[in-house]
């Protein structure tokens, strides 16, 4: 029982360290970027902007080299949210 408590304590200490040190995994960074891309896309789309122009803008803003990547990001976030594009 004590070993389990020690493991839990170590995990909590690590998470606390990670937060204090500002350490964020590549996966977490990508997820945050994906959400930002998606939110920007939806905002601009709701303002009546052309999809092609939005995609070009997002590619430049987020340094993404492919139209397809933007669509994959949008699809991935939509699936996480449980909606449709």
Largest CA distance in the chain: 60
The pLDDT assigned to 2 comes to 62
The pLDDT assigned to 42 comes to 96
DSSP the chain: -HHHHHHHHHHHHHHHHHHHHT---HHHHHHHHHHHHHHHHHHHHHTT--HHHHHHHHHHHTT---HHHHHHHHHHHHHHHT---
Residue 8 CA to residue 57 CA, distance in Å, equals 45
Going residue by residue through the chain, which has 85 residues, state the pLDDT in tens, using 9 for 90 and above: 566 677 888 888 887 777 777 666 788 889 999 999 999 999 999 999 999 999 999 999 999 999 999 999 999 999 998 855 4
The pLDDT assigned to 82 comes to 83
What residue segments make up the domains of the chain, in order of their start?
Answer: 25-85
The pLDDT assigned to 84 comes to 53
């Amino acid at each position: 029982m004590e070993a389990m408590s020690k493991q839990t304590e170590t995990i909590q200490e690590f998470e606390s360290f990670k937060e204090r040190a500002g350490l964020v995994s590549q996966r977490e960074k990508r997820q945050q970027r994906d959400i930002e891309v998606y939110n920007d896309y939806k905002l601009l789309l709701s303002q009546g902007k052309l999809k092609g122009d939005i995609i070009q803008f997002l590619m430049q803003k987020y340094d993404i080299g492919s139209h397809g990547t933007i669509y994959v990001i949008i699809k991935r976030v939509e699936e996480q949210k449980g909606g449709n594009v």
